Amino acid sequence: MAGILEFAPAIVLLPFLSFLIALGAGRYMPKGGALAGIGATAGSFLLAVATFVAVSGGQTYNQTIYTWAEGLDAVDLTFGLLIDPLSAMMLVIVTLIAFLVHVFSLGYMNDDGQTGLPRYYAGLGLFTASMLGFVVADNLLMAFMFFELVGLCSYLLIGFWFRQDGPPSAAKKAFLVTRFGDYFFLIGVVAVFATFGSAAFAGPDAFPVLAEEALAGEHSVNTFLGMGEQAWFTVVGLLVLGGVVGKSAQFPLHTWLPDAMEGPTPVSALIHAATMVAAGVYLVARMYGFYALTPTTLAIIALIGGFTALFAATMGVVKKEIKQVLAYSTISQYGYMMLGLGAGGYVAATFHLMTHAFFKALLFLGAGSVIIAMHHNENMWDMGGLKEKMPVTYYAFLSGSLALAGIVPFAGFWSKDEVLYETLIHGLGGSPILLAAYAMGLLAVFFTGFYTFRMVFLTFHGEPRSETARNPHGVRWNVKAPLAVLGVLAATAGLVNMVPVEKLFGIKGIDFLHQFLDGSFDSLNAHHYAELIPYSSGYIGGEAGTVAIGAAVSLGLALAGAGLAYVLYNVPEPVEHTEKLGSIKTVLYNNYYQDEYQVWIATGVVQPISRVLDKFDQGVVDGVVNGVSSVSLFLGSRMRRIQSGVVSNYAALLTLGLTALLLGLGLIGGWFA
Amino acid sequence: MIIEALIAVTFLAALVTFVLPDRIAGKAAFALSLVPVLGSLVMWQQYDASGNALLGGNIAFETDVVWLQLGQYDLHWMVGVDGISLPLVVLTTILTTLAILSSWTPISERESQFYGLMLLMEANLLGVFTALDFFVWFVFWEAVLVPMYFLIGVWGGPRRKYAAIKFFVYTNIASLVMFIGFISLVFGLGDSISSLRLPEIAQALQAGQLSGFAGLSASALASVAFIAMFLGFAVKVPVVPFHTWLPDAHVEAPTPASVMLAGVLLKMGTYALLRFNFTMLPETARSFALPIALIAVASVIYGALLALAQQDLKRIVAYSSVSSMGYVILGLIAYTTYGVGGATFQMVAHGLISGLMFMAVGVIYNTTHTRMVTDMSGMADKMPVTAGIFVAGAFGYMGLPLMAGFAAEFFIFKGSFESTVMAAMPLFTGAAMFGIVIVAGYLLFAMQRTLFGPFEFDGDYEITEAPFHDVAPLAVLLLLTIVLGVQPDIFFTMIQEAVNPILELGGAF
Amino acid sequence: MVPAQYYLILSAAVFCIGLFGLLTRRNALLFLMSVELMLNAANINLVAFSYYWGNVTGQTFGLFTMALAAAEVAVGIGIILVLYRNFDDVDVTKATTMRW
C-alpha cells in the first residue's frame, strides 16, 4: 500500500473533472453527464477506501502541494493535504454518499424527465469536489475557501429549479445566512494568521500546537486589542465558530436549512448527510486541539448544540411535509454533534457525524423514493399505507428511522448515547452548563423518537389517504440499490464503536473508532484531545453504572416517544393530534417565528436604513455637490451684470481700479504716513 | 522603447479609427487594439525589474531623456514600469479590447468617433500608468478626462450632459487641488531637486530634503500636501463622501464607457494615491491612519448599503464599486505586504470583475432596453449563457474563493488585520469585512428578481440569447478572473517586489 | 534747465484731461481723441525722463509710441466707421449687443 496516499489529490480532482465534463459536454452525453459523475465518485470512493485502509495501517500524510500566494517577506498561503484518521473517515463517507446520490439521481431526475441535467450533475460534481477539498484541507485558509465553494454549490443546487419562485429565494437565503456566519469565520481565519503566522492544522507550526505552547508560556504569539492570550484565543475560537453555526445550521442561523428543501431531494441528502451541514461540525473536530484550550468556547458550543437539538426537535413534531421533518431532524442531530464536541466528546461527536451521515442520507433518499412514488407530493397527510406498495423503501426507511430515534442496536443509538454519556460524566465532573445541555439533549431524545415514528406511521402505515397513495409510481433499481446499501449501514455502522458494551461487560478492544482516531499525528489524536479538555469526569455508581443509567434513560425516552407515536398515529385513519396543542402548535409550526425576525431584520431594518441612506446620499451628499455648482452658477449670473456693454462703464471701472490700486500701494508703501 | 511604441501605436490606432468609415470602425478598432494587448503581454513576459520604481528599484523598459527646461527644472520624458504599474498596464489593454468588442451591439451612431475616443483614452491611460515624470504624468492624467467626457456626453443616456459635466468638473477641480498639494511639495524641496521626475522627488523626500515653505514647517507642509493630494485623488477613486459623480456617470454612460470607467479610470485614483501619498509621504500617511481607515470603512459599508437601495442594475454595480474601492484604501493604509500588495491586486481584480458586471448588465440591457430590477424576472430562462456568466461574475464580486476578488480581499483583510499603524486596525478590518455580507445581499436579491423566477418582461422586445461577440468578452473576463484567483502570483509576486520597499520607509523628519 | 517736476505736472494734467474726456464723452471720435491725449501724456513722461537721465532709450520709446498711436488711430477710425454703419451713430453707449 505504500504511496497510496500520494494519490489522495485525485479523490478531490475526480469529481471536479466530472463537473467540467458535465458542464462542457453534458448535453451531448447520455444521461446528461450522470455517468461521468458516477464514474468519478466511484473512483473517488475506491481511492478513499484505499486511503482509509492505509491510514488504518498507521500511515498519515501531510503535504503542501500548491502555493497559492507566495509572500515575499511574508507568510506563504498554500494548499495542502492532511490525511489522518478523521479526514480519511470523512473522505469515505463523503465519496460513498456522493456516489449513492449520483446513482439515486438517475432515478429521481433522469427517469423523471427533468431538464437542465448537465447543470445538475455539474453542480453535484463541484459540490462533492468542494467538500472533499474541504475535508483534506491542511490549513484554515484552504478550509475556508472550500467551505465557501460548498456554499456556492448549495446555492446553485438548491436553486436548481430556478423557473419557480421558491427555489431561488431559498437558495438566496441559504447563501446569505451562511455568509453571515462565514463573515465571522473569515475574520477568524485572518485573526489566526495574524496571531500565529500560520494556519496549518498539523505539523510543526500547527496553530493549535502554537496556541497550546503559548498558553503554557513556552513562547509568545501576537494578540490584539490588548487582550491576554486566553481571552484572545476565545475570541478567535468564537469567530471561527460563527462559520460553523452558519453552515451546520445551529441556532440562531438554522433558518436557511428548512427552506433549502426546495432543492431536489438527492441534493438535500447530499447537503444534510455528507457535505455542507457536516462541514461545520467537521471543522470544529478538525481544529479541536484549538477549541479544547478555551473552556468558554467549549461551553458555548455545548450550549448551542444542546439547545439546538431540543429546539429543532420540537419543531419537527408538527410538520406536514416529510422533508420538513427530516430537515428539522438534521438540525437537531447536528446539535448533538456540537453538544458532543462542546462536552469534550471528540470521538463521540465524530462517531455521530459518521452514523448520522449514513442514516440521514438513507432517510432523505427514502423520502425521495416516496416523493417519486407520490408524484412530487410531499405532504404526509396525503400518504399512508405505502408499506405494502414499496417494501424495499419501507424497510430501508425503517432502519434509518430506528437509527435516528436511537433504538438499540441501530447506528444512531451507539453514537447518540456516547455523546450524551460524555456530556453526563463531564457535567457530573463539575460543570452545571454541561448538565443543562445534557438535560436539553436528553429531552430532545423523546421528541426525536416521537416525530420520527410519526413520520414513519403517517407515511407507510394506515390506509392510503389519497389517489396517488393508492397507485404510487414505481421506482427502479437505481433508487432501491442506494437505499439497500445505506439501510444495511444504518443498522450496523454503530457496531464499530460499542463503548457501552465495552464498559458494561469489560470486553476490551471493541471501541474500534477510538483506536482508529488515536492513530493520528500526535497533536491531532483523540488521546491528546482527551488530555487537553478542561473537564473532569464524575460518575453515578461507578463508570459502568453511569453507562447503564445513561443508556437506559435515553433508550427509554426514545422508546417512549416512539411508543406515543405508535399509539397516536399507527391507526388506519390518523388525525392531527397536534391540533390539541393549540397556540403552541402555531408557534411550533411557524418555527418560533425565527424566520420572521430574520426577514424583518433584512427587510424591516436594513432595507429602510439603506433607503434612508440613499435619500441622504441623493439629498445631502450630492446636494452639497449640486449646491456648490448652483451657487457658482448663481454668482456668475449676478456677476456678469457688470459686463454692461457700455464702453464708458468699462473705462470708469478701469479708472476706479487704477485709483484703488494706487491708493492701496500707497498705503502699503507708506506714502501717507 | 516598448512603452513609447505602445503609446504611439495606440494613438495612431485612434487616429486611423477616427477617419475610417463607420461601417468598419468597430472591427478595425478591435483589430488595432489587439496590438497593445500583445505589446503589454510581451512586456509582462519580458518584465525583469524589481523593487519600487520611485524608490531606486530597477525600472523595466525605462526611458529617461531631457525634454524641456522650465526654470530651474528639467522636464524629462521618463517612462517605465514596475510591479505596481505593469499589472495595470495589462489590465488597461485587455479591458479596452474587450470593451470595444462589447460596443459592437449598443453603439450604432458616430461609430468611428466612438472607437477613436476609446483608443485615445487607452493611449492616455497607458501614459498615466507608465509616466514617471510629474509633468508627463499630469498631461496624461488630465487628457484621460477628455475622451471620457465625450463618451458620456455624446453616447450617453437621457441625462448625459449633466453627468458628463459633473464628471469632468468634479474630477478636474480635484486635479487642481492635488496639483496645488504636489507643487507645494516641489517648492518645499527647493534646490534639492532639479527635475520633476517622480523617483527624484520621492528619494529627495526620503532623504529629508523637505524644508518649510510659505510659513509652514516641513512636517506641516507635508501634512498640507498630503491632505491636498489625498482629496484630489479621493474624488477620482472615489471614496465617500466624494463619490456622487460616479453613479450618475455610470448610469448615463454607454456600457463600454462604464466598463472603462469602473475598470480602469477609478484605478488611476488609487494608483496615484499609492504612488504619491503613500510612497512619498509614508510618515504623514501613518499619522493620518485613523481618518483614512475611517474613510475606508465608511466607503465600504456606506457604498454597499446604498447599493442595497438601488433598483437600477447599473447603479447597484456603481455603488458597489465605491464599496470595493474602500477595501483598496484600507489595504493601502495598512502598510503591510499583504495590505498594500492586496490593495494593488484589488485594483486589477476589481477592474476585471466590475468590467465583467457592467458588461453583463449591458448585455441584458441590449436585449431588454431596461436595467430596472422591477421590470423583468426569469431572464435566465431566455438568456441562459448570459445569466450563467452573470451569476459567476456576481459570485466573483462577492468574493468567492478561487476567483480574483477573494484573493484581493483576503490579502487586504489579512494585511490590515495585522497592521501596526494603529492598535484598532483589527476592529476597522472587522467592520470593513462586513461588506462581504452586504454585497452578497444586494447581488443575490438583484439576481433573484431579474434572472430567476418565472419569466416575465414588460416590454415589446423579443428576449433571446445575446450574440457571440457580446458573450465572448464576458467569458474572457470570467476566465481571467478565475485564472487570477487560482494563481494570484501571476501579478502578486511582482506587486510585492514593488510594494515591499515602501513598507521599509522610515520617518524622514 | 526746466526741472523734471514741471514735465510731470504737464503730463499729469494732459492725462487727466484725457481721462475726463474718456469718462464723460459718448462720441466715439472724442473717445479716440481722449485716448490719444492720455497716450501723449505717457509720451511726455518718457521723453522727460529720458532728458532727465540723459539716456536716449526713453526718446526711442517715444518714437515707437507715436508710431503705435498712428496705427491705433487708423484701426480706431476703422472701428468707428463700422460702428456708424451698424448703429447709424457714433455713440459708444449704443453698441451694447455683445454683452453676456
Query: pLDDT digit string (tens) for A98-140?
Result: 999 998 888 888 777 778 888 889 999 999 999 999 999 989 9
Q: Would an 8 Å CB–CB cutoff place A647 in contact with chain C?
A: yes
The share of chain A scoring above pLDDT 90, in percent, equals 24
Give the pLDDT band (50/70/90) at residue A673.
low
Could B423 and A70 be called an inter-chain contact, meaning their C-beta atoms sit closer than 8 Å?
Answer: no
Give the pLDDT band (50/70/90) at residue A470.
confident
Q: What is the reported pLDDT for B508?
A: 39
Q: What is the reported pLDDT for B487?
A: 92
Could A644 and C22 be called an inter-chain contact, meaning their C-beta atoms sit closer than 8 Å?
Answer: no
Instruction: Calculate the alpha carbon distances from B358 to A171, B253, B260, B477 in Å.
Output: 24, 11, 10, 11
At A410-457, the pLDDT tens digits run: 888 888 888 898 898 888 888 888 889 999 998 999 999 988 988 888
Residue type, C17: I
Rounded-to-integer distance, Cα A517 and Cα A514, Å: 5
Tell me the torsion sign for CA atoms A332, A334, A340, A345.
positive
Q: Is B400 left (phi over 0), alpha (psi -120 to 50) or beta?
A: beta
Rounded-to-integer distance, Cα A96 and Cα A278, Å: 14
Q: Which of A68, A183, A611 sits opposite B488 (nearest CB)?
A: A68
Q: Which of B302, B417, B452 sits opposite A162 (nearest CB)?
A: B452
Report chain B's terminal Cα–Cα distance, integer Å: 38
Measured torsion, CA atoms of residues B426, B428, B432, B433, in degrees rounded to the nearest 10: 10
Q: Would an 8 Å CB–CB cutoff place A640 in contact with chain C?
A: yes
Could A175 and B444 be called an inter-chain contact, meaning their C-beta atoms sit closer than 8 Å?
Answer: yes
Q: For the whole model, what pTM was predicted?
A: 0.89
> Which residues touch A189 (CB under 8 Å, ≥6 apart)?
A140, A141, A144, A199, A240
What's the gap in Å between the CA of C46 and the closest CA on chain A? 20
**Mean pLDDT (whole number) for B345-369:** 92
Would you say residue A1 has pLDDT above 50?
no
Mutate to test the interface with C, among A637, A644, A647, A654 (most CBs of C within 10 A): A647
Q: What is the reported pLDDT for B119?
A: 95
Element (H, E) at A62: strand A61-69
Q: Would an 8 Å CB–CB cutoff place B308 in contact with chain A?
A: yes
Could C98 and A645 be called an inter-chain contact, meaning their C-beta atoms sit closer than 8 Å?
Answer: yes
Would you say residue A381 has pLDDT above 90?
no
Rounded-to-integer distance, Cα B246 and Cα B251, Å: 8
Could B417 and A190 be called an inter-chain contact, meaning their C-beta atoms sit closer than 8 Å?
Answer: yes
Over chain B, what is the mean pLDDT?
91
Give the pLDDT band (50/70/90) at residue B457.
confident
The structural domains of chain B, with segments of one domain joined by +, span: 2-506
Contacts of A651 in chain C (CB under 8 A): 22-23
Give the nearest chain A residue to C34 (CA atoms). A651
Per DSSP, the three-state class of B131 is strand
Would you say residue B506 has pLDDT above 70?
no
Residue whose C-alpha cell reads 522727460 in the numeric block: C48
Contacts of A67 in chain B (CB under 8 A): 489
**Mean pLDDT (whole number) for A634-642:** 88
Partner chains of C (3+ C-beta pairs under 8 Å): A
Rounded-to-integer distance, Cα B136 and Cα A433, Å: 70
Strands in B35-128 per DSSP E: 60-70, 73-81
Q: Would an 8 Å CB–CB cutoff place A235 in contact with chain B?
A: no
Q: What is the C-alpha radius of gyration for chain C, rounded to an integer number of angstroms?
A: 17
Give the nearest chain A residue to B494 (CA atoms). A72
Angle, in degrees to the nearest 10, between helices A34-56 and A8-25: 180
Give the pLDDT band (50/70/90) at residue B136.
very high
**Mean pLDDT (whole number) for B94-105:** 93
At A578-631, the pLDDT tens digits run: 777 777 777 777 777 878 888 888 888 888 898 999 999 888 988 998 999 899
> Which residues touch A180 (CB under 8 Å, ≥6 apart)?
A242, A246, A253, B437
Q: What's the count of helices (H) and strands (E) in chain C, helices before strands?
A: 3, 0
Per DSSP, the three-state class of A496 is helix
Q: What is the reported pLDDT for A95?
A: 92
Q: Would an 8 Å CB–CB cutoff place A636 in contact with chain C?
A: no
List of domains in chain C: 2-88 (1.10.287.3510)
What are the cell numbers at A405? 430515534
Could A71 and B496 be called an inter-chain contact, meaning their C-beta atoms sit closer than 8 Å?
Answer: yes
The share of chain B scoring above pLDDT 70, in percent, equals 99
Mutate to test the interface with A, among B159, B295, B417, B428 (most CBs of A within 10 A): B417
Q: What is the reported pLDDT for A141?
A: 92
Q: What is the reported pLDDT for B509?
A: 41
Q: What is the reported pLDDT for A475?
A: 78
What are the cell numbers at B93? 489593454
**Mean pLDDT (whole number) for B153-179:** 92
Q: Would an 8 Å CB–CB cutoff place A637 in contact with chain C?
A: no
Q: Return the closest-CA partner of residue B141 out of B273, B16, B252.
A: B273
Q: Who wins on pLDDT, B242 or A501?
A: B242
At A206-243, the pLDDT tens digits run: 888 888 888 888 888 888 888 888 899 999 999 999 99
Per DSSP, the three-state class of A287 is coil
> Which residues touch A658 (CB under 8 Å, ≥6 apart)?
none
CB pairs under 8 A between A and B: 153
Contacts of C92 in chain A (CB under 8 A): 646-648
Q: Would an 8 Å CB–CB cutoff place A145 in contact with chain B?
A: yes
ipTM for the complex?
A: 0.92
Give the nearest chain A residue to B379 (CA atoms). A163
> Which residues touch B353 (CB under 8 Å, ≥6 apart)?
B393, B396, B397, B403, B404, B405, B477, B481
Rounded-to-integer distance, Cα B314 and Cα A30, Å: 41
Give CA A454 to chain center in angstroms: 26
Over chain C, what is the mean pLDDT?
89
At B29-48, the pLDDT tens digits run: 999 999 999 999 999 999 98
At C15-51, the pLDDT tens digits run: 999 999 988 888 889 989 999 999 999 999 999 999 8
- Whether B188 and B213 have beta carbons less than 8 Å apart is answered as yes
Would you say residue A12 has pLDDT above 60?
yes
Give the nearest chain C residue to A653 (CA atoms). C23
Could A648 and C26 be called an inter-chain contact, meaning their C-beta atoms sit closer than 8 Å?
Answer: yes
Contacts of A611 in chain B (CB under 8 A): 309
